[in-house]
């Protein structure tokens, strides 16, 4: 069952005489528990799309459905969504984390009692009990970001929108945010995530959508995309340099040989090659896989030319 | 809805009291301000003012009430615009629109909560002043009625400004000029006017309510119900107008992608 359905969404901004087609004909859908990485260069239209999903920017064309409801017409639809938007902490700085959680819980339609209970649960999950009495402005950036995510989740939405959630976080805080994202997806929440850190997208996402100049140019399950862009070659690393005497026997394999490293371009010949190499000691065999960064650059640049 | 109002009340109160020194300083400053306004008023009212002379005392009290109302409306307007701006900056503003409650509802409850706290503070300041100066302002419970209508049109104004602020970031610069406009609106003695002037004054925001408050508090005249009817209509219309403008501005801001202060 899909929680989010976006169809042919379009948005044009006018600035003076200039018009900017920020988003063109974008369609997406998300199922419970699924993480979609929404990637694209600066100004591609990611934030605009996210805000149209959250009802904060009105689309010029197309439609958004959250659990079947239209967030632009039916305010109840917003119960199903939580969002941490670009570049800000969406918290009241003078309140403590718990006071923030309580306030936003009530704002999203919970009773005070439930909001408080959920707030306490979240503080426990995030390991922030010791900061119960500290105001948000005295917390580190990483802690603030954790609280911001908790605030977006306090009403237990079915969809979480995260616009660059790891921007400006250190390594450890980034790991924590990644762990939280995995955990909430596992509990059945659908997550739409934008980031410029492609390793994070690769590690977290089930599916990737790449947007360029307002249009989606690729959308696929992450594993498939990577497989599709990965070559058929293997790299074999030996413990000792290849004995010169062996080289003529390996000629038919069309290898690239560099000291201890052999690159086999025809994957189907792997076992034949290993047979010939016996009994040399092998350090490592690795299939050549593309990473998301390479794929991203290839796709984004390819469509430019 | 009640839960949200209480949550707003809690939020405003915590933000106010979080740094007690700052809060006490706030009350202190507003007391001092009132005190000097009062002193200034007795100066303007003329050197011959004798507090036991009832005409002189009346003139003085009329001025004090005018000032207090002026400060109150200024507080309401600056506080609304300041907090809207601050929230656009920190990003909480967008979160307010991500709620099953309508934005107008949230902001209205928020205004009420802020007002409750503000009124308590002003009552404290005013109490101190009255204690110090021995002014004989009277506080009949009926004065709440014109006070409410007065605040209704003030909030109508605040919502209008807030709406404009969503669309144009430069609106703040209007505020300086607005202060004098407010002084004029509040100070116009509608109760002493006749003919066309009176008609205009009755339709101007806040003016009829301010007149009623002067009558009630300084002149100890009973509440003129016909006049209150006009003040009520005045308050309802300006508040309605303000809310309508705000909703309209909200729609336009969403159209143009302006909610985050782009
Ligand atoms: N309110 C607005 N008014 C006018 N133009 C806007 C507005 N918001 C966004 N734009 C423009 O729309 C385009 C898409 O912007 P958007 O913020 O959606 O990009 P993005 O993919 O989120 O970029 P980034 O990776 O830098 O966050 C950009 O050209 C931007 O300048
Ligand atoms: Mg963005």
B152-162 mean pLDDT: 93
Of residues B7, B94, B257, nearest to A85 (C-beta): B94
- Give me ligand 1 centre to Cα A212, in Å: 12
Judge whether B17 lies within some domain.
Answer: no
Taking chain B, what is the end-to-end CA distance rounded to the nearest angstrom? 31
Cβ–Cβ gap A107/B91 under 8 Å: no
Q: Does a structural domain hold residue B261? A: no
Question: Is residue B126 included in any domain, yes or no?
Answer: yes
Inform me whether the C-beta atom of residue A69 falls under 8 Å from chain B C-beta atoms: no
* Number of domains into which chain B is organized: 1
pLDDT value at position B44?
Answer: 60
pLDDT at B43: 64
What is the model's pLDDT at position B180?
83
Q: Is the shortest distance between the CB of A43 and ligand 1 below 6 Å? A: yes
Residue of minimum CA distance from atom 4 in ligand 1: A13
Question: Closest Cα of chain B to A76: distance in Å?
Answer: 5
Task: Supply angle C-alpha A218, A220, A224, rounded to 5.
Answer: 125
Q: For residue B184, how far is the Cα from the chain centroid?
A: 14
Q: Assess if residue B15 is contained within a domain.
A: no
Q: Return the percentage of chain B with pLDDT > 90, whole number.
A: 32
What pLDDT score does B188 carry? 84
In a domain, B214, yes or no: yes
| Residues on chain B touching A76 (C-beta within 8 angstroms) | 100
pLDDT over 70 (residue B262):
no
Q: Please report the atom of ligand 1 found closest to the CA of residue A23.
A: 14
3-state percent breakdown (helix, strand, coil) of chain B, nearest 5: 80, 0, 20
Q: What is the pLDDT of residue B45?
A: 54
3-state secondary structure of A284: strand
Residue A121: per-residue pLDDT: 94
As a whole number, mean pLDDT of residues B240-257 equals 95
* Per-residue pLDDT, A148: 94
Go through chain B and tell me how many residues it has.
262
- Confidence (pLDDT) at B240: 96
B112 occurs within a structural domain = yes
A113: closest chain B residue by CA: B3
What average pLDDT does range B41-63 have in this prediction? 61
Report percent pLDDT > 70 for chain B.
Answer: 89
Atom of ligand 1 nearest to the CA of B256: 1
pLDDT tens sequence across B113-151: 988 888 888 788 778 777 777 766 667 778 889 999 999
- pLDDT of A162 reads 96
Cβ A213 under 6 angstroms from ligand 1: no
* B34 falls within a domain: yes
Q: Among all chains, which residue has been given the structure tokens 């408080």?
A: A116
What are the residue ranges in chain A where pLDDT is below 50?
A: none
Give the Cβ contact number of residue A111 at 10 Å: 11
* Confidence band of B214 (pLDDT split at 50, 70, 90): confident
pTM of the model: 0.86
For residue B14, being part of any structural domain is answered with no
Domain hosting B37: range is: 2-9+24-256
């Amino acid at each position: 069952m899909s929680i989010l359905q976006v169809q042919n969404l379009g948005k044009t901004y006018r600035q003076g005489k200039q018009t900017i087609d920020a988003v063109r004909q974008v369609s997406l859908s998300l199922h419970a528990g699924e993480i979609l990485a929404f990637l694209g260069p600066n100004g591609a239209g990611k934030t605009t799309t996210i805000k149209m999903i959250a009802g904060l920017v009105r689309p010029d064309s197309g439609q958004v459905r959250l659990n079947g409801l239209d967030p632009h017409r039916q305010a109840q639809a917003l119960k199903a969504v939580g969002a941490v938007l670009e570049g800000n902490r969406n918290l009241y700085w003078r309140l403590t984390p718990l006071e923030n959680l309580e306030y936003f819980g009530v704002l999203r339609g919970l009773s005070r009692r439930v909001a408080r209970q959920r707030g306490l649960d979240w503080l426990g999950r995030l390991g922030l009990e010791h900061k119960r009495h500290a105001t948000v402005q005295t917390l580190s950036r990483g802690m603030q970001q954790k609280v911001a995510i908790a605030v977006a989740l306090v009403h237990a939405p079915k969809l979480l929108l995260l616009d660059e959630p790891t921007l400006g976080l250190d390594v450890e805080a980034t790991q924590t945010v990644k762990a939280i994202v995995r955990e909430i997806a596992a509990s059945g929440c659908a997550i739409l995530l934008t980031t410029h850190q492609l390793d994070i997208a690769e590690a977290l996402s089930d599916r990737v959508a790449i947007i360029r100049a307002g249009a989606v140019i690729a959308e696929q399950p992450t594993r498939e995309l990577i497989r599709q862009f990965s070559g058929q070659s293997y790299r074999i690393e030996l413990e000792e340099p290849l004995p010169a005497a062996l080289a003529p026997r390996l000629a038919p394999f069309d290898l690239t040989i560099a000291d201890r490293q052999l690159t086999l371009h025809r994957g189907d010949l792997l076992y034949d090659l290993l047979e010939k190499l016996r009994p040399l000691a092998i350090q490592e065999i690795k299939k050549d896989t593309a990473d998301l960064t390479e794929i991203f650059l290839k796709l984004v640049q390819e469509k430019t030319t | 809805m009640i839960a949200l109002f209480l949550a707003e009340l809690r939020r405003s109160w915590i933000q106010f009291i979080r740094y007690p020194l700052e809060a006490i300083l706030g009350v202190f400053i507003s007391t001092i301000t009132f005190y000097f306004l009062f002193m200034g008023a007795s100066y303007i009212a003329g050197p011959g003012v004798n507090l036991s002379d009832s005409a002189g005392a009346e003139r003085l009290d009329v001025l004090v009430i005018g000032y207090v109302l002026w400060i109150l409306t200024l507080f309401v307007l600056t506080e609304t615009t300041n907090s809207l701006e601050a929230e656009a900056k920190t990003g909480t503003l967008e979160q307010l629109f991500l709620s099953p409650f309508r934005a107008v509802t949230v902001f209205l409850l928020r205004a009420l909560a802020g007002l409750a706290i503000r009124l308590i503070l002003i009552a404290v300041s005013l109490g101190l002043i009255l204690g110090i100066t021995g002014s004989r302002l009277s506080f009949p419970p009926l004065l709440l009625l014109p006070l409410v209508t007065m605040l209704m049109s003030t909030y109508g104004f605040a919502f209008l400004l807030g709406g404009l602020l969503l669309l144009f970031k430069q609106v703040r610069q209007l505020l300086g000029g607005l202060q004098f406009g407010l002084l004029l609106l509040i100070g116009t003695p509608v109760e002493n006017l006749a003919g066309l002037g009176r008609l205009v004054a009755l339709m101007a925001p806040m003016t009829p309510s301010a007149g009623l408050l002067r009558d009630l508090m300084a002149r100890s005249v009973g509440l003129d119900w016909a006049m209150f009817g006009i003040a009520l209509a005045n308050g309802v219309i300006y508040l309605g107008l303000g809310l309508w403008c705000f909703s309209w501005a909200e729609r336009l801001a969403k159209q143009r992608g302006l909610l985050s202060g782009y």
